[in-house]
């Protein structure tokens, strides 16, 4: 499908579009590795736009409430508060020296305010990988993570502001990427 851009038989078109959008986003960050070295709301929105192209998802910061199933956590519901939170996140990440800390913070903090109507976790993963790639490290795929464990770790962060379970997933995925690709 990636080579011929044809949808696999029996699969929804949106799945193929999502996959092709991921490919385009990864190609973009590989071609422009410095794009997120200084993280900005604009670079995040641009990344999100690549990931949601042709999926019927609104671009840019959301202007309506969203909920997350399976949790009592309520994301910010005001566009101005979301922008403020993203600005603070960018400033925090840009101040950090350690690239792994930057990538981990981008991964969890970008998902936290649910800034977009859809595609928040995808955007966070691509931005996190863009930071790693920009500094000469391999990207993480999260292919070997159990989806329930991933969701649990995110919910613990959302509800308790405890980053440790997700940090363990991040570390294990980096170790897995090194073993697999090097």
DSSP track, 19-58: HHHHHHHHHHHHH-TTTTTS--HHHHHHHHHHHHTTTT--
Residue 3 confidence class, pLDDT cut points 50, 70, 90: low
Residue 49 counted as domain residue = yes
What average pLDDT does range 147-159 have in this prediction?
94
* First-to-last C-alpha distance (Å) of the chain: 26
Residue 69 counted as domain residue = yes
Residue 66 counted as domain residue = yes
Residue 157 counted as domain residue = no
Residue 4 confidence class, pLDDT cut points 50, 70, 90: low
Total of domains in the chain: 1
pLDDT of residue 86: 97
pLDDT of residue 7: 58
Domain that holds residue 88: 13-137
pLDDT exceeds cutoff 90 at 90: yes
Residue 79 counted as domain residue = yes
Residue 2 counted as domain residue = no
pTM for the whole structure: 0.91
Residue 61 counted as domain residue = yes
Residue 148 counted as domain residue = no
Report the CATH number at residue 82.
Answer: 1.10.3290.10
């Amino acid at each position: 499908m990636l080579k011929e851009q044809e949808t696999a038989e029996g699969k929804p078109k949106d799945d193929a579009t999502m996959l092709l959008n991921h490919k385009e986003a990864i190609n973009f960050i590989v071609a422009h590795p410095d794009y997120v070295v200084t993280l900005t709301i604009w670079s995040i929105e641009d990344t999100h736009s690549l990931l949601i192209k042709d999926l019927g998802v609104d671009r840019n910061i959301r202007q309506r409430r969203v909920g997350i199933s399976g949790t009592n956590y309520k994301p910010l519901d005001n566009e101005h508060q979301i922008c403020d939170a993203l600005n603070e996140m960018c400033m925090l990440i840009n101040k950090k020296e350690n690239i792994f800390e930057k990538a981990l913070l981008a991964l969890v903090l970008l998902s936290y305010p649910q800034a977009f109507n859809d595609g928040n976790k995808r955007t966070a993963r691509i931005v996190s990988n863009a930071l790693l790639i920009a500094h000469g490290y391999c990207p993480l795929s999260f292919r070997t993570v159990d989806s329930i464990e991933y969701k649990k770790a995110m919910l613990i962060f959302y509800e308790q502001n405890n980053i440790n379970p997700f940090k363990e997933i991040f570390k294990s995925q980096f170790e897995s990427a090194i073993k697999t690709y090097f």
